[in-house]
Structure 1
């Protein structure tokens, strides 16, 4: 274990609908990196701090909810980019609050510079923090915040 990280932790990274298309989907908004690229960067950062990281993507709301439920008792933190479900899914919010796992909400684009329906997130007020507009680096920032919490 990295001496800078005071405890081992399991991190789950969840990605919602259409994020499997990163790299080709509206690169002017979402960038050229693929979801695989982002996951590889996170895995490297997690390894450097002796953390266990698992990633899951689904276009299906029920599968994301099932992944949250399955995390109960085994996962210490969740990083989630629920994509459009951030703006529509009370069920996903309820799952996250029910399992009581601290989570960080990530949006690649700045949702407040986009269409007004994207300005509200059902997850934001329950999240430890929301990172919006940092591009794919928002995922790393969320993981760095977790690492900082583990060090304190």
Structure 2
């Protein structure tokens, strides 16, 4: 189970949103694949969704595999759930998989585009082996859906 301190100052459970390499270039990079929304737009959507479902959002992006691994390791003490778009690390990072396997809460793998319709090398996902669920192909709305479903799993039940 998530670490008992995985809440923020308002006692809301926290979902860590991790964005992998090149996602800081959303809106510029291949808009025909990823759309015109920027990473700032995605962050605003995530924060609004978190507010609507009663969870805190810790939103991050890095091009560094080591930094992402460290965030996942630290999430054991700070987050009740993780939504991760590993981007280019999806099909290459066993190290991110290993870090995710240590995390006790729900993990949602989220991709803006449908990986199965893209290049063959993108079809493999190491992250999926640790994920509670995989959401792909819904554009940036996949982030909102992932947060909603993750919140369903981490909120206390009556």
Give the TM-score taking structure 1 as reference length.
0.91
* Partner Cα separation in structure 2 for residue 147 and residue 95 of structure 1: 21
Q: Deviations over 1:32-66 (max 9, x none)?
A: 00011011011011112331111110001000001
Q: Choose which of 35, 46, 57 in structure 1 pairs with 2:39.
A: 35
Distance 1:88 1:57 in 2: 18
Q: TM-score, normalised by structure 2?
A: 0.88
Is residue 140 of structure 1 aligned with residue 144 of structure 2? yes
Distance 2:23 2:135 in 1: 16
Structure 2 partner of 1:4:
none
Counterpart in the other structure of 1:3: none
Paired residues, what number? 146
Indicate yes or no: 2:60 matched with 1:25: no
SS at match of 2:77: coil
Range that drifts further, 76-85 or 65-74: 65-74
- The 2-side partners of 1:132 and 1:146 are apart by 15
Distance 1:92 1:56 in 2: 15
Q: Any unmatched runs of 5+ in structure 1?
A: 1-6
Residue pairs, 1:60-75, within 5 angstroms: 60-75=64-79
How much has 1:70 moved relative to structure 2? 1.2
Partner secondary structure for residue 56 of structure 1: strand
- Give every structure 1 segment of 4 or more consecutive aligned residues whose post-TM-superposition deviation is greater than 6 Å: none
